[in-house]
A and B are shown apart, each in its own frame.
Chain A
Amino acid sequence: MDIKWDQLLVSGDPLILGSQIAIVLTMVGVVAALSYFKKWKWLWNGWLTSVDHKRIGIMYIIMGVLMFFRGGVDGLMMKAQTAVPENTFLDAQHYNEVFTTHGVIMILFMAMPMLIGIMNIVIPLQIGARDVAFPQLNLLSFWLTFAGAMLFNVSFVIGGSPDAGWTSYFPLAGKEFTPGVGNNYYMIALQIAGIGTLMTGINFIVTILKMRTKGMTLMRMPMFTWTSLITSLIIVIAFPIFTVTLLLGMMDRLYGTHFFTVSGGGLDMLWSNLFWLWGHPEVYIVILPAFGIYSEIIATFTKKRLFGYGSMVISIVLISALSMLVWVHHFYTMGVGPAVNTVFSITTMMISIPTGVKMFNWLFTMRKGRIEFTAPMMWALAFIPTFLIGGVTGVMLAMAAADFQYHNTLFLVAHFHYTLIPGVVYAVFAALYYWWPKVFGFKLSEKIGKWHFWLFNIGFNLTFFPMFFLGLQGAVRRSYTYSEESGFQPLFLLSGVGALILAAGFAALCYNIYWSIRHAERTTANDPWGNARTLEWATATPVPHYNFATLPEVDSLDAYWEMKKNNKGFTLDKNQIKPIHMPGNSGLPAIMGGIFLVFGFFLVFEWHLLAAIVGIGIIAGLIMRSFESNDGYHVPVDEIVKHERTWRGESKWKAK
């Protein structure tokens, strides 16, 4: 084992040096603040080891916001670089690293944690449960995702970032062509995070299938629960493919095997095939929960039942099946032959049918409804036309023969941002505004929310719409610069200005959170929007750690709406309350996350002896878990009575 100390720290670039200093200062600052305010215990006991699904959800979302910031800065850097021709802000190598980390972070460490965080907070409440099926496993999932994200982010200060694109195509990503450790980080960090995601998928399938409250049949589940179930199903089917793909990539890089190499009989196209076998389902994993979020919000703020619930369910099931059958559309141009291209062209275009069904369902839900233009609803409304642009350009790309023209141009980049940003980012914003009062007991400011909305929307369209035309004119993706004569300058500049407005929109969101924490009006009303339809709004605000004092019973869709209509299920009888069993906290997941992080780090640098030593720690953790008998604890009746009495008020409290 030879450690090249001089190559360990990335040096020589003022931008990176600045970040290194900033990172060290922030870490010192955080540690100092925690010690000064004596918050270590609070942090460890209340959060890092908590198996409460709501807290885990919040930790996921914090991580997602931080990663959005990191990925967003990458995006801005690229836009700054290409705003003028022959710019020297970033050199070619640096630009490669930036688009790679941008893509990976946005999809795996921003979109996934955000959506899984929202699922964590909302799903148990929507199905009337007190927790997920495997609370400790849930916490471990979080910590593995977090460890993966941290390992990936470390790359840019220690050892160098991956630079072969978020798709990491071989042979470029192989050791022959990129000998540094950057792409080792890719293979190993994503592996760790992927295992966490896989376990989340298993957890939510079992939770949704087995923990629904009495009377909630499958066809009475809220739409967000449906989409989360199907998302989890796709996770369980797609992520093992990624596990293998990354394993083989790592074997090629670390141990000299010949899966994807150009020598020794390897086949580089096999990587593309495996990557997209996972990669296409992955984009549906991030988009389906968003469909569920919009369905809830549109129904709530038009005060109408979702139009065509049954057709909605059928179409998400169809989307999930089709999503596994279209992967080749990402490499039509690699020479797979006309027969293959034709088949995958057809399956790809078929996906637009169920997606179209959903679009019409949302529109019909709003038809003749009294729409309330709240912040969450505005994001849902903006989603429809923008996502439509993404979808229509997608059908253009789906035609294999035409794709030869668009492939690898900025047209494609504009297309997938037009699907991912309305389909994920808008949905996450909508969900944050919508469920925020439930979790924290106050709404985010509507007024600052309007600023956020308009800045972000204008900025987004200004950034990405010009890229369609740039792409059609022949501007290729992943190219760090272009010549003066190309004539691309005006549109690139426009797009760059758009990105600044976009960034201002994100800043408005951050300011909104800050302002609302300090000044927003506090509420304990269980239904702060007044028109909510599903069970999460039937319990106290903020939600008590035991969720429901007594488990609700359901006899139709939109359970809470029916409760309100029939005015039943609100009064609580003291005699019904029994001690509630809750799962106990566990420190093991956080420790395992730490061990995985160190293990991964050693593997990245191919220090096998050290990795093996740390590997023993992983095995020890598994053994401890096998012997652990964590029986949890009971919430005493007194505590429940006290809490329920306060928020329900005496009128809805039957004391016998």
Chain B
Amino acid sequence: MSNQEKGFPISHIVGFLLSITFTVVALLVALKTDLPKTTIMFVIGGLAVLQAGLQLIMFMHLNEGKDNYSKIIHTVYAIFMAVVIVIGSIWVVTAGHSIH
């Protein structure tokens, strides 16, 4: 921690401005462009992931502290499993002829 306790919360303000920017860009891409739907989904999905990473690192200080490894490994593992659950479930449930 580079003692940022004194003075100005500069990293927070940068983080805030970035998050607003990401949101506005996502909005513009989604509502004001005529790109194909899948392209839009990839762009705004990517922006959401960027924004989540930003919150994790700039606000939640994921990599702060002495034993940050266990924190990071565990969180990354959970995120990986979250992706497996979402994509896996949707694939499994909609792939076969069972869907009606």
Contact = CB atoms under 8 A, between A and B. Distances in A.
Q: Do any beta carbons of A and B sit within 8 angstroms of each other in the complex?
A: yes
Contacts of B96: 334-337, 340
A269 B78 contact: no
Given A209-B70, A270-B93, A325 B84 contact: yes
A27 interface: no
A273 interface: yes
A335 B100 CA distance: 12
A325 B81 CA distance: 9
A245 to B, nearest CB: 11
A274 interface: yes
A237 B95 CA distance: 25
Contact of B95 (A205, A277, A339): A339
B91 A340 contact: yes
A277 B96 CA distance: 18
Given A237-B81, A324-B81, A269 B93 contact: yes
B89 interface: yes
A210 interface: yes
Q: Which of B67, B84, B85, B92 has the most CB of A within 10 A?
A: B92
Given A209-B70, A237-B78, A335-B97, A324 B92 contact: no
Nearest to A320: B77
Contacts of A336: 92-93, 95-96, 98
B93 A237 contact: no
Interface in B56-100: 67, 70, 74, 77-78, 81, 84-85, 88-89, 91-93, 95-99
Contacts of B95: 336-337, 339-340
Interface string A451-467: 00000000000000000
Nearest to B98: A335
A328 B67 CA distance: 37
B92 A273 contact: yes
A241 B85 contact: yes
A274 B89 contact: yes
Interface string A318-350: 000000110010000011110110000000000
A427 to B, nearest CB: 26
A580 interface: no
- Give the interface SS of chain A, mostly helix, strand, loop or mixed: helix
Contacts of A210: 67
A324 B78 CA distance: 11
Interface string A205-218: 10001100000000
Interface residues of A, number: 22
A53 B67 CA distance: 25
A267 interface: yes
Interface in A240-281: 241, 267, 269-270, 273-274, 277
A205 B75 CA distance: 13
Interface in A87-128: none
Interface residues of B, number: 18
A269 B84 contact: no
A210 B69 CA distance: 12
Interface in A586-614: none
Nearest to B85: A277
A325 B74 CA distance: 18
Q: Which of B67, B84, B98 has the most CB of A within 10 A?
A: B98
Nearest to A237: B81
B84 A273 contact: no
B89 A273 contact: yes
Nearest to B71: A209
Nearest to A344: B92
Nearest to B89: A273
Nearest to B69: A209
Interface string A417-454: 00000000000000000000000000000000000000
B87 to A, nearest CB: 12
Contact of A237 (B77, B88, B89, B99): B77
A267 B90 CA distance: 12
B67 A273 contact: no
Contacts of A274: 89
Given A335-B98, A336-B98, A267 B93 contact: yes
A334 B98 contact: yes
B41 to A, nearest CB: 22
A210 B99 CA distance: 47
A210 B70 CA distance: 10
A113 to B, nearest CB: 25
Contact of A328 (B81, B84, B92, B97): B92
Nearest to B70: A209
Contacts of A325: 84, 88
A334 B96 CA distance: 9
Contacts of A237: 77-78, 81
B97 A277 contact: no
B76 to A, nearest CB: 12
A324 B84 CA distance: 9
Contacts of B85: 241, 277
Interface string A294-332: 000000000000000000000000000000110010000
Contacts of A328: 92
A344 B84 CA distance: 13
A205 B77 CA distance: 14
A316 B77 CA distance: 16
B93 A273 contact: yes
Contacts of A337: 95-97
A269 B98 contact: yes
25 contacts: A205-B74, A209-B67, A233-B77, A237-B77, A237-B81, A267-B93, A270-B93, A273-B89, A273-B92, A273-B93, A274-B89, A277-B85, A277-B88, A324-B81, A324-B84, A325-B84, A325-B88, A328-B92, A334-B96, A335-B97, A335-B98, A336-B95, A337-B95, A337-B97, A340-B95
Interface of A: 205, 209-210, 233, 236-237, 241, 267, 269-270, 273-274, 277, 324-325, 328, 334-337, 339-340
Instruction: Pick the 4 closest A-B CB pairs, nearest first.
Output: A337-B96, A335-B98, A336-B96, A335-B96
Given A273-B92, A334-B96, A337-B97, 5 more contacts: A205-B74, A210-B67, A335-B96, A335-B97, A340-B91
